[in-house]
Amino acid sequence: MTETMHEQRPFVWAPKFDTGVGDIDDQHHVLVNTLNEANLTLRHETSIPAIDRLLQDLLAYALYHFETEEHLMLEHDYEAHEPEAARQHIEDHRKFAQQVVIMRNTLGSTGDIDRDVLLSFLGSWLQQHILGVDQKLAAFLHKRGAAG
């Protein structure tokens, strides 16, 4: 296991992450809490199956969350109104899922994972994603009077 783990700072929620869309915000809080728990767990967890389980759980919840957002997009014709934003957003979801699968495969085949790389990928992806495409979707939903 990688010996050089730096202390990753927890993801601290700030008002700029609030989208004002109830379901999306609730699920983002779960994702952030899961990420912060992963941060703590990875400091002492050395069992590969346990780390893989953690990645699997995170991916499962992320996929569930993506489904919620993509359902809102469909329901409110996001793609027809904002085709480029919709395309980018969905692509970002797919890339995240692919990346986590690649990390799980690497863990499975090498029995090791760079925890710093893993945690910083997860943290920075989530932050950029919320502040970028998620806020864009939320602004659209607010404009349509569809947020709650």
**DSSP string for residues in 101-112:** HHHHHHHHHHS-
Q: Pick between residue 27 and residue 115 the one whose CB is nearest to Fe ion.
A: 27
CA 106 to chain centre: 19
Shortest Å distance, C-beta 51 to Fe ion: 25
Q: Pick between residue 93 and residue 115 the one whose CB is nearest to Fe ion.
A: 93
Shortest Å distance, C-beta 32 to Fe ion: 14
Work out the number of other CB atoms within 10 angstroms of the CB of residue 99: 15
Shortest Å distance, C-beta 114 to Fe ion: 25
User: Hey, what amino acid is at 148?
Assistant: G
Shortest Å distance, C-beta 93 to Fe ion: 6
Shortest Å distance, C-beta 134 to Fe ion: 5
Q: Pick between residue 53 and residue 94 the one whose CB is nearest to Fe ion.
A: 94
Q: Pick between residue 114 and residue 125 the one whose CB is nearest to Fe ion.
A: 125
| Residue with token string 């010996």 | 3
H-type helices in the chain, by residue range? 22-44, 48-75, 78-81, 83-110, 115-129, 135-143
Q: Pick between residue 31 and residue 134 the one whose CB is nearest to Fe ion.
A: 134
List contacts with Fe ion (CB under 5 A).
Answer: 69, 134
> Phi, psi (5° rounding) for residue 4?
-95, 30
| CB contact at 8 A, 70 and 92 | no
